[in-house]
Amino acid sequence: MRTSEVALKAGVNTQTLRYYERRGLLPQPPRSGSGYREYPAATVGVLGFVKRAQELGFTLAEIEELLDLAEGGPEACDQARALAQAHAAELDRKIAGLRQMRASLTSLVATCDRPRADRSCPLLQALEEPAPADGAGRR
């Protein structure tokens, strides 16, 4: 299959396909006599794997590792599980951080219920404050 056909079947654009090729997620396909890339049909399945892994939040580096593991034997399952567990733990940390940010914003918004004459806007004041130099307050 040529580049445009693979991209269409996989639901990606041709530049994405070529990028994945440069990154090593896809092997370099052979070229036809006229110089066109000729991808095997299995490439569409690999691209589907990459897209599903991205939907789960895996980075391209992690996806590359998962693709390598997919070619391995039964012991690869333990490594894939460890990678997925580490990824789930990272998602839990991000979710906790997002919940904390939401709680802070909700608290700031609640102060807006005071009578207009009795308040300055702590929400705007909080946003005007410089971030701590150590980066702890960076978002």
91-139 residue pLDDT tens: 999 999 999 999 888 877 777 777 766 666 666 777 777 777 655 554 4
> How many domains does one find in the chain?
2
User: In terms of domains, do 77 and 51 share one?
Assistant: no
Q: Please give the backbone phi and psi of residue 31, each rounded to the nearest 5 degrees, phi first.
A: -110, 145
* Residue 61 pLDDT class (50, 70, 90 cuts): very high
Q: What is the CATH number of the domain that holds 4?
A: 1.10.1660.10
Does any domain span residue 10?
Answer: yes
Quote the CA–CA distance of 76 and 30 in Å, as a whole number.
29
Quote the CA–CA distance of 77 and 99 in Å, as a whole number.
32
User: In terms of domains, do 44 and 94 share one?
Assistant: no
